[in-house]
A and B are shown apart, each in its own frame.
Chain A
Amino acid sequence: MDIPYTIQSRPDTGVYNGKLGMWLFLASEIMLFGGLFSAYIFLRTGVPDWPRGADLLNVPIASVNTVILVMSGVTMVMAWASLKLGSLGQSRVYLLLTMLLGLAFLGLKSYEYYEKFSNDLYPATSNFYGIYFALTGLHYLHVLGGVVVIAYHLVFGGILWRKTPEQFVNRIEVTGLYWHFVDLVWLILFPSLYLV
């Protein structure tokens, strides 16, 4: 049995089901990160002195990571646009670039964690490190999830493209929505933890 409205928009919602599902999922993600940010505010306002992130964390690495994630957002858009223009080959190149940029982000973040662990700085060290590892760790897992999905599209996307190209374009679009959301969360995390 075919799943309805994977290509055409549903008359009552005005969008195809995959897109609505992704936005509902992203809404739940906003609540998840919002809850953790609320915990961060509680911890921070509950003490007279809170350390300045720039004194304890690696700002240059985090800045480079921000540039990497924003650039990966552009390559993701280009992957979707290439499909819309009918070029699977070009789209694959952009998807590969997006995946590599995602892996570069994860590599730099892992190095940052390694730096902390080798200096005996763990989540249990202080409230600051506790919330830092919780927020960035959750974000790390989200980037990892995105990389896995992009890798799946790279390997198996061609099959769907040959069968129903419109459905594959839609899949790349919702993957892009998720990827931009991950980017967006980092744009809030980076200044709140590292610079403020």
Chain B
Amino acid sequence: MVENPKEFKKAIRGHVAVAISVLLLTGVIVTIGVMGLEPRQTAVLILALAAVQVFLVAQFLMHLAGEEWLIQSVVGFTVFFVAALLALSVYTYHDTYEGTYTTDRPPVTGDVREP
């Protein structure tokens, strides 16, 4: 089934190397998580490293890197819409009962027309 078994075995060793990298990153993530850094800093670092892990799994173990354009488009569109959904969810953090914060200024409240 495989035309060049030597090349194929080499590719499989690449897969194992990717999995080992993911495991090492897990170790780093757990270490950062229990180190007790400032919460915002911890969140940014951990989620960035988790994104790298996800990228490695999707690109190499799921073979997305060498996949057909159609499949890459399906995944690309889906990830775009999910990212937009999550970004909007994060944006609601700026929403308060008084209004929406877009800068450090307090929100505009009540009737904003000139008297």
Measured CB to CB, the residues of A under 8 A from B are 13-15, 19-20, 23-24, 26-27, 30-31, 34-35, 37-38, 41-42, 45-46, 52, 54, 59, 63, 66-67, 70-71, 73-74, 77-78, 81, 83-86, 165-166, 169, 177, 180-181, 183-184, 187-188, 190-192, 194-196
Contacts and interface: CB of A to CB of B under 8 A. Distances in A.
A81 B57 contact: no
B5 interface: yes
B50 A188 contact: yes
B2 A183 contact: no
B22 A195 contact: no
Given A34-B86, A84-B8, A177-B62, A14 B68 contact: yes
By size class, the interface of chain B is 35 or more
24 contacts: A15-B71, A20-B70, A20-B71, A31-B78, A34-B82, A37-B89, A41-B92, A45-B89, A54-B33, A66-B26, A67-B23, A70-B19, A70-B26, A77-B61, A78-B12, A81-B9, A83-B1, A84-B8, A177-B62, A180-B57, A181-B62, A187-B53, A187-B57, A195-B30
Nearest to B81: A31
Contacts of A194: 33
**4 tightest A-B CB contacts, nearest first:** A195-B33, A34-B82, A41-B89, A45-B93
Given A31-B78, A42-B89, A74-B19, A81 B12 contact: yes
B65 interface: no
A78 B70 CA distance: 26
Nearest to B93: A45
Given A41-B86, A42-B92, A78-B12, A195 B71 contact: no
A-side interface mostly: helix
Contact of A27 (B19, B47, B74): B74
B102 to A, nearest CB: 16
Contacts of B85: 34-35, 38
A194 to B, nearest CB: 7
Most buried by A among B12, B42, B58, B79: B12
Nearest to B70: A13
B3 to A, nearest CB: 10
Contacts of B75: 23, 26-27, 30
A184 B85 CA distance: 19
A41 B82 CA distance: 13
Contacts of B69: 14
A46 B70 CA distance: 38
Contacts of A46: 92
